[in-house]
Structure 1
Amino acid sequence: MAFSEISTILLATPIAKASTQEFSFWEIMFHGNLFANVVMITVLFLGALSLYLFLERLFFIRRMSKKADPNTMRNIEDFLREGKIETALEYCASQNSPEARILQKGLSRIGRPVSDIVNAMESQGQAEVAHMENRLNLLAAVPSIAPMLGLLGTVIGMILAFFNLSNASESFSPKTLSEGIYTALGQTATGLAVAIPANFFYNLLLTKIDRFILKIQNVSNEFLDIINKPL
């Protein structure tokens, strides 16, 4: 056969294109039945809720921390040396910061036993911490609930995949089984993808609140040192 004829045959023969399927995690998430889709929407809602709670608490804590005047303790000490307790109370009220409110409680108890002053400041400090921890319990629940919902969706998806396989009238198809399995595992992956950042957000906020607690403890100790110092 001549070379020209072979070339003509090769050019005339169609080349089969390999069919490739692109990976789409979005399609995997919502490829299951109605129950799986409901679970997926719930998990995604928990993820959005955790992000909202984190940003809201983060900005609130930062806003409260920035309100403190670095010269507050020095001004309070000057007022006390001059015997101007009422002026010190008005100064703390004008600051409108957690530290100033704690100092205001301590100033309002001057003249009473030191234990009363300490208890008043500790009570105010606990109130300020509780205000910062508001709705933090909802954020703490997300890392526990999201993986459990994802696992529930995976288990139900696996049950349905094997149930459909056992009742299939046609011959065994690995594609059908594998499709059901990876769709079910997508539920767990989504639950973990929501739980891991939510857990990080929660611990980050706890770290900032612990720093705030240490800060107000130092403020209380400095105030007690001032009132116990000879004027």
Structure 2
Amino acid sequence: MDVLFNVVGIVVYVALGLLALWGAFCAVLVWRRVGQVRFDDEDEQDEFLAELDASLGQGNYSAAAQLCEDDRRALPQLALFAIENRELGITKLQRRLWERFQQDVLADIEHRLSWVATVVKSAPMVGLFGTVLGMMGAFRGIATGGSDVDPTAMAGNIMLALITTACGLAIAVPLLLVTNSIVVRIRKMEDLVGLGIGRLIDSLKLAFARSK
């Protein structure tokens, strides 16, 4: 029975280690993904929109599209979609831009972020499982040992209970802080993209009006 407890204890440690690695990996991926699709600040976005406005103001849609093609950030790709599908009209374009932003950018980020949230919830539960396992081993030693209880074995079981709990919390708390910081970055990106789409629609309205 002691061998079984030891094996399960090792499995708990391995599971916590894998959760820590997977959570950190997913968090880094999400952080990088958000950084790849957003402008660092409003000034940088304004510079891009000013260049785009200049091309659209001249009715030069090919130059505007070329400006957006090599930029993989969200707003330039949305602008490229709007330029390529300008025959849809302003109303449909505005709706489609928000749909594409939700589907292509936010849905992908939220899917990746959900894995981090899963680790945040799972790590303390696995740690709690180790706690229960350790206390079961300790009480079993007391129950079967009678007056000859081995304090070393009991201390080992209690140590397993405490270490797994601590490990679960040590994994969950930093990842929770990282998740909240990523959510803040996502909200800032949404605000910036919302402002950018508004300016893009205004620029397209003027370009359409001049071309008539």
Deviations 1:149-185 (A, max 9, x none): 1111111211121112111144356665444323312
1:140 Cα offset (Å): 1.0
Q: Is the 8 A contact 1:158 1:184 kept in 2?
A: yes
Could you tell me which of 139, 142, 148 is aligned with 2:119?
142
Whole-Å separation in 1 of the counterparts to 2:94 and 2:8: 56
Deviations 1:118-160 (A, max 9, x none): 1221122121223334522211101111111111111121112
The verdict on how the C-alpha distance between 1:171 and 1:97 changes in structure 2, with shifts beyond 3 A counting, is closer
Q: Which runs of 4+ in 1 moved over 6 A?
A: none
Q: Is the 8 A contact 1:146 1:191 kept in 2?
A: yes
Q: Which has the higher helix share?
A: 2
Whole-Å separation in 1 of the counterparts to 2:191 and 2:87: 26
1:62 Cα offset (Å): 2.3
Q: Secondary structure at the match of 1:124?
A: helix
In structure 2, what is the equivalent of residue 219 of structure 1? Answer: 196
> Please, what TM-score do these two structures have when normalized by structure 2?
0.82
1:43 Cα offset (Å): 0.7
- Give the residue type in structure 1 aligned to 2:27: F
Where structure 2 has 5 or more consecutive residues not aligned to the other structure, the ranges are: none
Where structure 1 has 5 or more consecutive residues not aligned to the other structure, the ranges are: 1-31
In structure 1, what is the equivalent of residue 48 of structure 2? Answer: 72
| Higher CA-based Rg | 1
In structure 2, what is the equivalent of residue 61 of structure 1? Answer: 34
Deviations 1:81-130 (A, max 9, x none): 21212322222213332211111122233343322111221122121223
* Worse overlay, 48-57 or 104-113: 104-113
| Residue 184 (structure 1) aligned with residue 157 (structure 2) | no
Could you tell me which of 138, 145, 166 is aligned with 1:168?
145
Q: Is the 8 A contact 2:131 2:162 kept in 1?
A: yes
- Give the residue type in structure 2 aligned to 1:141: T
> Please, what TM-score do these two structures have when normalized by structure 1?
0.76
Whole-Å separation in 1 of the counterparts to 2:72 and 2:158: 57
RMSD: 2.4
Question: 1:16-31 maps to which residues of 2 (within 5 A)?
Answer: none
The verdict on how the C-alpha distance between 1:177 and 1:113 changes in structure 2, with shifts beyond 3 A counting, is same
Could you tell me which of 51, 71, 95 is aligned with 1:95?
71
- Give the residue type in structure 1 aligned to 2:50: R
- Give the residue type in structure 2 aligned to 1:90: Q
Choose between structure 1 and 2 for higher RCO, CA contacts under 8 A separated by at least 6 residues.
2
- Give the residue type in structure 2 aligned to 1:42: A
